[in-house]
Amino acid sequence: MGSPSVVWSPPPAGTMKLNFDAGWAGPRGQGFGLVVRDDKGVFQVAASHYEDHRSDPLVAEALSFRWALKLAAEWNLDNLVFVSDCQQLVSAFHKKTNVVAHALAAESHLYHDCTWWGDPLIGILLHLVTDVPDL
């Protein structure tokens, strides 16, 4: 959980920026905070949330992102740019996508809510082979 940023920069025109963060709160807890501003810096909404336990810092940052996504959906906010000061969390989103997981997501309309144990479908098997070529 990083230190607060000093300078705010605007998002692209026509979008709003949602900055979110997690931090230690009180003697035993963790807190989440978010603020939304438009592309001119005009305040739209802010929120905070407290939990009476502490997670690993990266987990807390990820939970604060999930919380921010949930609120944005509840508030029907769109055209948002989400920003975090947690470099480890941001880097995780910029890593290359796993071929199998990506294929399952892209083809989920074919399978709906399915789980495969032990023997994958042939399409998944083909992705598994290309995903780990050394096997």
pTM of the model: 0.66
Give domain status of residue 4, yes or no.
Answer: no
**What pLDDT sits at residue 4?**
56
The model's pLDDT over 44-66, given as tens digits with 9 standing for 90+, comes to: 999 999 999 888 888 888 888 88
Based on the structure, what is the number of domains in the chain? 2
Give domain status of residue 78, yes or no.
Answer: yes
Domain membership of residue 63 as a residue range: 16-94
**What pLDDT sits at residue 135?**
46
The model's pLDDT over 68-97, given as tens digits with 9 standing for 90+, comes to: 989 999 999 999 998 888 777 777 666 666
Do residues 42 and 75 share a domain?
A: yes
- Domain of 51, CATH number, reads 3.30.420.10
C-alpha closest to that of 49 among 36, 30, 65, 62: 30
Give domain status of residue 115, yes or no.
Answer: yes
Percent of the chain with pLDDT over 90: 32
Do residues 80 and 119 share a domain?
A: no
- Rounded to a whole number of angstroms, the CA Rg of the chain reads 19
* φ, ψ (nearest 5 deg) of residue 90: -60, -45
Give domain status of residue 6, yes or no.
Answer: no
**What pLDDT sits at residue 132?**
62
